[in-house]
Structure 1
């Protein structure tokens, strides 16, 4: 006989649902931490560029080669084979290996004694980070349920971007406080220059992050997705032939936007130090604050765009938002030579960040929707490769133009602004041209989304 219960009985979630939610939350958190860790390791090379240049007697062209050919070029070359390995043999273990590689390369940057050794270390950093986007964007749909994928993409994108900005800010503060920690270091480290200590410090968490990645588990309902990849091992070429216009415009536009942002972000610490006499710690705080505020404003703008245009544009929404953002960023980059002080320069950089972030929070979903599950890491790797190879031109172009202008502070600022504004304008044009072919691709690959 049933016994009546007093009061109202609360619905209890099934144990498997609670477990799946915990798996997804942990997995998403680890991917965010890995992404932030990668951003800090990459940005510390930019933040410390000026003291490193002085210590190793590097020219602006060599600094450009370090950022371009060293990190970005090797990252682009490694992206596609890493994407193939991720689809074929598993994304988690490969991501853990990538974390260890870029952490070791970051430490090697701090131990470099000349440009060749520094270049090799930067190349290792680029190779290690090459798998980040192809693996993470392919892994998110496997650790969350299908109905939570878009939300998880947005949470990941925003948290990773905010975390990267916070990491840059903390890195700048850390550089200013390293001298206080020097007596606590091993004797062999106590005579190292501050910039070398900074590289070693940010590389230290690598093994722990790699271990956390290995402990990520797939969503119980998505476990079967791992079996799809081997059956479609040779289907990337037919996909590329059928949807080449979509890939060229979307990935080309993304690459040009990355090129434009790199023109400012990679040279901004050096410009602020040379042109306005800003200290390294102040530069880190200023850029980090601009990054954080720009991210917040961009996220709000992106949400407003989704609300106002989502129903009207449908699948084309993320492409349109990225295109409009690139056009706004072009105007902000063109205004940089007229900045009267470092704070104004940071503010204009923040406008560029906000304009691009408005669309960036939708980029994971954009990439997942245009690629089949079995090919996801490889398709995204193609985009990553094209994007980073284009952006690799940015530091080299800016450095070369600056050297032609005799490396004067005003010349470096003009070079960075000119390259950035042109790249953003091209990105906007490509994204506007991508709308129709992108919608056709989404409807062909995922008819349920059309």
Structure 2
């Protein structure tokens, strides 16, 4: 079968493709479980180690994101040249091991260094997985496949919230890190045994210089616009995901367990529907207009702002739950469409590196700054608003969604021109 025919039809049987996707989803779930577990444990960690909101925001942001973002590019290049499945396996082992070590931290700097280790490990997980999915699934199914993979985000966020709170309440916050970390180490060899490295087109045998991939992407306005749009969206998204549990505790007086049920259900229900809907609509509507892959996220972000604002300003927990549910799906609806679009800005053998380049920008802006900026805003507003400072810091941060929507709308026309394959 020719390379073109293989790309059009996908690789492997439908059943095996589903198994591969399920394993990648499981690994991605642990990726976000290990990130989110810190968010639900903010209160006991703050009390135990005596940390400020700014320090906690740094643990959730720059400690994790800096090397995570930068190392993603060389690790993706290694994956493109060697074995993507091995890179994902080793990455899962490393980040899970450092997650377990977080449970042994005795002060801010120890926890900071262990969070850096989690970021180093997770740097090699996502971009190679995108490329594996794009190799196994034909073009007309890729957005849905990537959306199913992206379900790891709401599932992992919800699992981190629920498991972290349950283990912390049953034992203490340290054991929450240890349990989920050890579980990831156990899953890593199972993943490697089940997921086979997909055959690649003949062109993938070429050792493409990193500069060549960058040079190709740099000429495409859609790449820059989508990357910065996703970055500003992620600033708000990651910030809200990290600080929302603390908001429920401080502003509504909920205990840790109740907070985990309230926020975990929002993440799981809203996030799951939103991620899958994004992939489904993109595959349906994007075939006729490639610009739809950018339009859809822009309109979703614009809709998020008033709904999230209503939730944060509400004084009724039931009303807040419903107001948070819809935008929590809309704010990550972009994952399937935009990740698919990035895959189609370059030839097949450059996909992992292209995805890592996109993630470098997205994560440095969004993951690196989101939780830290919101934490710093909360500290700055405490003198004026006291225990309600976090509520108003979250509302102010919603402006990032407006910036993201404008940038994504500007990407619509260039994306039509830049699309490959």
The TM-score with structure 2 as length reference comes to 0.89
From 325, 341, 347, the counterpart of 1:350: 325
From 90, 100, 122, the counterpart of 1:97: 90
Aligned to 2:242: 266
Q: Distance in 1 between matches of 2:224 and 2:94?
A: 30
Going from structure 1 to structure 2, the CA distance change for 1:85 and 1:344 (only over 3 Å counts) comes to farther
Aligned to 2:7: none
Q: State whether residues 298 and 406 of structure 2, in contact with CA within 8 Å, keep that contact through their aligned partners in structure 1.
A: yes
Matching of residues 269-284 of structure 1 within 5 Å: 269-284=245-260
Going from structure 1 to structure 2, the CA distance change for 1:343 and 1:126 (only over 3 Å counts) comes to farther
Q: State whether residues 172 and 285 of structure 1, in contact with CA within 8 Å, keep that contact through their aligned partners in structure 2.
A: no
Once the two structures are overlaid, the 10-residue window that deviates more, 332-341 or 80-89, is 332-341
Once the two structures are overlaid, the 10-residue window that deviates more, 380-389 or 337-346, is 337-346
Aligned to 2:388: 410
Matching of residues 48-447 of structure 1 within 5 Å: 48-144=41-137, 148-158=141-151, 160-168=152-160, 170-172=162-164, 174-175=166-167, 178-179=170-171, 194-218=172-196, 223-225=199-201, 228=204, 230-234=206-210, 235-243=212-220, 245-298=221-274, 302=278, 305-306=281-282, 309-310=285-286, 314-391=289-366, 392-406=368-382, 408-419=386-397, 421-442=398-419, 445-446=420-421
SS, match of residue 315 in structure 1: coil
Shift of 1:166: 4.6
Q: Distance in 2 between matches of 1:58 and 1:50?
A: 10
Q: Distance in 1 between matches of 2:387 and 2:87?
A: 42
Structure 2: state its 5+ residue gaps: 1-9
Q: Distance in 2 between matches of 1:300 and 1:34?
A: 18
From 20, 24, 43, the counterpart of 1:27: 20
SS, match of residue 346 in structure 2: coil
Q: Distance in 2 between matches of 1:87 and 1:32?
A: 20
SS, match of residue 258 in structure 2: helix
Q: Distance in 1 between matches of 2:297 and 2:12?
A: 36
Shift of 1:272: 1.3
Give CA deviations for 1:376-405 in whole Å, capped at 9, x if unaligned: 111111111111111121222112122122
Going from structure 1 to structure 2, the CA distance change for 1:306 and 1:51 (only over 3 Å counts) comes to same
Once the two structures are overlaid, the 10-residue window that deviates more, 164-173 or 295-304, is 295-304
Report how many aligned residue pairs link the two structures: 408
CA RMSD of aligned residues (A): 2.6
Q: Distance in 1 between matches of 2:58 and 2:318?
A: 28
The TM-score with structure 1 as length reference comes to 0.83
Q: Distance in 2 between matches of 1:401 and 1:340?
A: 21
Q: Distance in 1 between matches of 2:284 and 2:29?
A: 31
Shift of 1:370: 2.0
SS, match of residue 290 in structure 2: helix
